[in-house]
Amino acid sequence: MSIKILGMGKGIPEKCVTNDDLAEFIETDDEWIVTRTGIKTRYVCTSESLTDLSVTASTQALNKAGLTTSDIDLIICATLGGDYRTPSHACSVAEQLGTNCPAFDINAACTGFVYALDVASCYLDSGKVKNILIICAEMMSTQVDWNDRNTCILFGDGAAATVVTAGNALKFLSLSATADTAILNLPADTGNSPYINTKKEKDYLHMQGQEVFKFAVNVVGPDMEKALETLDMTPGQIDWYLIHQANKRIVDSIRRRLKQPEEKFPINIGKYGNISSVSIPLLLYEMLEEGKLKTGDITFMSAFGAGLTAGSCIMVWE
C-alpha cells in the first residue's frame, strides 16, 4: 500500500443552522439534540452547489500540496450523489478545475473516504498514476426529511479534498460490507416510466438509529484488533483515533471500549453534524490546520455507514 497525503482542503456552506433554528419548525430544542448527539450546529447549502464546495476544497488541497490541476492524474469522488445523476460528481468538479484526467465516483456512504484511500492505493501501486485527487462531498440537506426530527438534526453539507501520491504512510487498511439495506437507506424514485407498476415519489433518508449505533460500536473494535495484530502494536501506540462523526455517543462508546483517553479522540460533530463521507477528512484537515498532527504521529481512522459498510486504516503522518 503506497500512499501519502500531500495536501488537504475543505469547502463548507455559509449558512450555519443552530439547534434553536431547528426548534422554530420542528418539535425539539438545543438540550434534546446536544444530549443525544453532541451536535450544536451544522452548515447547509443555500445558493452553493455541491460542485462549488468541492472546487473550493480541491483548490485548497492543490495549493497545500504545491501542485496544479495539470499534475493530477486521477480524480476519485466519494459521494451519495452530486449535482447530477450523470455525469459523475467527479466529472462535474473536473470540468470546473479544467482537468482532463480520468474521474469517477464511488458510493460507500459514510465510509467513502476509507474506500477511496483503498482505491487510490491500488492505482498508485500499479504505477499508472502519480498524483490523485480524492474528493468527499455530500449535500445531506437534500436527502433528509426536514419534518423528521430524528434525522434532519443529524446531518450537514460540505466537501473535503485530499491530494495523495506514492509514499509509506498507509500501514493497514481493511474494508467490509455487511449487506443490510433496511437499517439505513435512501430510496430512489421511479421517474415517470409508464411501464413501472409501483410508483415511488421522492423519498428521504430512512435510518434505524439504534441499529446503526450497535453496528458502529461492534464493528470498530474488531477492526482495531485486526489492525493492531497485523502491525504488532498496542492501542496505546496510536496517537489519534479519528472516528466517523455520526454521533458523539457512538464515539464515546468506542473510546470506552478501546480504553483510551478522551484527548486521543478529536471531535468536530458539535460544529458540523454528520457529513457522511466528509466527516473523517474534514476532521483530519482541521487537525492539520490547528497544528495537532505532527510528523510521525500514528492515526487510526474508522468509519461506518449505509450498506452497511465499514472501513478502518492506520496511517503514519509523513
Q: Based on the domain organization, do 52 and 87 belong to the same domain?
A: yes
Structure confidence by residue, pLDDT tens digits, 18-58: 999 999 999 999 999 999 999 999 999 999 999 999 999 99
Q: Based on the domain organization, do 226 and 260 belong to the same domain?
A: yes
Q: Which of 19, 45, 89, 244 is catalytic?
A: 244
Domain end among 168, 189, 224: 168
Calpha distance 37→162 (Å, rounded): 27
Q: Which of 19, 131, 247, 274 is catalytic?
A: 274
Mean pLDDT of the chain: 95
Residue 73: domain span: 4-168
- And the C-alpha cell for 6? 500531500
Structure confidence by residue, pLDDT tens digits, 167-222: 999 999 999 999 899 999 988 887 787 788 876 777 899 999 999 999 999 999 99
Q: Which of 77, 101, 110, 136 is catalytic?
A: 110
Q: Is 152 a catalytic residue?
A: no
pTM, whole model, 2 decimals? 0.96
Supply the pLDDT for residue 2: 77
Q: Is 274 a catalytic residue?
A: yes
Domain end among 168, 191, 213: 168
Q: Is 147 a catalytic residue?
A: no
Q: Find the CATH number of the domain harbouring 81.
A: 3.40.47.10
